[in-house]
Amino acid sequence: MKLQQHSDQELVKLYLNGDEAVLEELLRRHKSKIYTSIYLLVKDQYLAEDIFQDAFIKVINTLRSGRYNEEGKFLPWVMRIAHNLVIDYFRREKRGPVITSADGTDVFNLLQFQEESAEDRILREQTHHDLRAMIHLLPEDQKEVLIMRHYADLSFKEIADLTDVSINTALGRMRYALSNLRKMMKVKEIS
């Protein structure tokens, strides 16, 4: 039987049994979709290629270590690895998200001053830190949409395609994320 006729799950089993050649088939089969999803997030060809390579190195290492257990869900598993590597990249680059208040202004811009005093700088840095901590507390699906929209500047159509949900679901998750952040901010103001 040709490799093209095997399912992803069968190819993974063959790879785990020592057939290194099947990895090339898995790569050929999914490269375009994985690379495109990374590129849509980072909008840089060379960075996308680097992250794609890092994702497949992580895939190989996980398979070889025997920690792979996503029976029949190879592509979503690899997409999740790639997505997490993109988020890690944005965190390392410290590209902060844009969070708008109820009147549509950027919460972080409210904190920008021409001649910032040491107290103002400390307050701004603390607020940024608090906001990042609040984002981390959001449910995974809300956090994912918020990060993709504000860190990676993706459209809701792109987010819907990458997360395999409808545009309305992506919009709803963003609405809930912003609502939850506002609630957390109010709780913080009270305490």
Query: Tell me, what CATH number does 47's domain have?
Result: 1.10.1740.10
Number of domains, the chain: 2
CB atoms within 10 A of CB 112: 10
Pick from 98, 126, 153: which residue ends a domain? Answer: 98
Give dist(CA 112, CA 58) in Å, integer. 40
The reply to whether 121 and 94 lie within a common domain is no
For tokens 């993109």, what's the residue? 86
Residues spanned by the domain of 7: 1-98
Tokens standing for 109? Answer: 């811009």
**In a structure prediction context, what are the per-residue pLDDT tens digits for the chain, which is 191 residues long?**
688 888 888 888 888 888 888 888 888 888 888 888 888 778 888 999 999 999 999 998 888 888 888 666 888 888 888 988 888 887 777 655 555 555 555 544 444 444 556 776 677 677 777 777 888 888 988 888 887 787 667 788 888 888 889 999 999 999 998 899 888 888 877 65
Pick from 98, 129, 148: which residue ends a domain? Answer: 98
